[in-house]
Amino acid sequence: MNGSLNIKSMNLYNNVDRIFNELNEIGKSDSDNLSIKDLTKFDQFHYHGTDAIDIAIDLLEINSNSKILDVGSGIGGPARYIASKTGAKVTAIELQSDQNNLASNLTNRCGLATKVNHLCGDILDYDFKGQKFDAVVSWLTLYHITNHKILLTKLNDLLNLNGFFYTEDITSRVDLSDAELKDIEKEIYGKHLPSFDKYISNLEHNGFSVISSEDMSNSWTEFTKTRIKTYNSEKDRNIRVHGKEVVESLDSFYNFVGQYFSNGKLGGIRIAAKKL
């Protein structure tokens, strides 16, 4: 993943241990056992939370026999939810060591260490030692990776025959200026922002047959608007729980994303494909 050290320019990926503040707020110490329900409000960094994951579970027919690879797994929210709900074995790979370490901690405390295997590494060059998966899933991660031809070749190779690829990812809705691209790279580490149609074409030219695609732009625009309003309405509470620095950092991130969705420049895609 190109320029991985710069990914921390994205404020969402800083102060990730803020989740402990939220857990303390509901009476959980830093070592208490946890349930999935304790975490789902805080450990889903994508849009529409576990509702989005349920769509993937149903579409890909994930069950207790499934072996799933979650790319860009963050602090482990989707991986834990999939494992808990379906009994599937999930391998979760995350580039950032602080997120990966936190993910492993939370997974252990949920009693899911036998179901979710956390790996810290770059998907482009990680050696899976011949391991294959029934599905590769990813939420709001792949737009961080510049070369999707290399990425899709790697993911295709990791799939079993007739395996599935599923992602929710960010797209561009207009031709972006150089200044806009620079800002997007800094604020959300956007490195690959094809149009909706180009995203589909890229998959079809790199070993996949698209079985389902949905333009999420309007839905995510409304989601990001509501997120800003909710966060602003709870500002005093959030400062008390997290401190001013964390709140201002997230506020800046939420506002930037909301602006670029609302002005029609960024959009989103939900897409499922099958290995050819």
pLDDT (average), residues 32-36: 97
Does the predicted model carry a pTM greater than 0.85? yes
Q: How confident is the model at residue 8 (pLDDT cuts 50, 70, 90)?
A: confident
pLDDT, position 91: 98
pLDDT, position 55: 98
Residue 51 has pLDDT above 50, yes or no: yes
Residue 5 has pLDDT above 80, yes or no: no
Residue 147 has pLDDT above 50, yes or no: yes
Residue 2 has pLDDT above 80, yes or no: no
Residue 77 has pLDDT above 90, yes or no: yes
Q: How confident is the model at residue 272 (pLDDT cuts 50, 70, 90)?
A: very high
pLDDT, position 100: 97
Kindly report the average pLDDT of the chain as a whole number: 96
Residue 3 has pLDDT above 60, yes or no: no
Three-class SS state of 83: helix
Q: At what angle do helices 244-262 and 217-233 cross, to 10 degrees?
A: 150
* Residues in CB range of 25: below 8 A, 6 or more apart: 241
CATH topology of domain 4-275: Rossmann fold (3.40.50)
pLDDT tens column, 214-246: 999 999 999 999 999 999 999 999 999 999 999
Tokens 């102060």 identify what position?
15
Q: Would you kindly state where each structural domain of the chain is located, as residue ranges?
A: 4-275
Percent of the chain with pLDDT over 90: 96
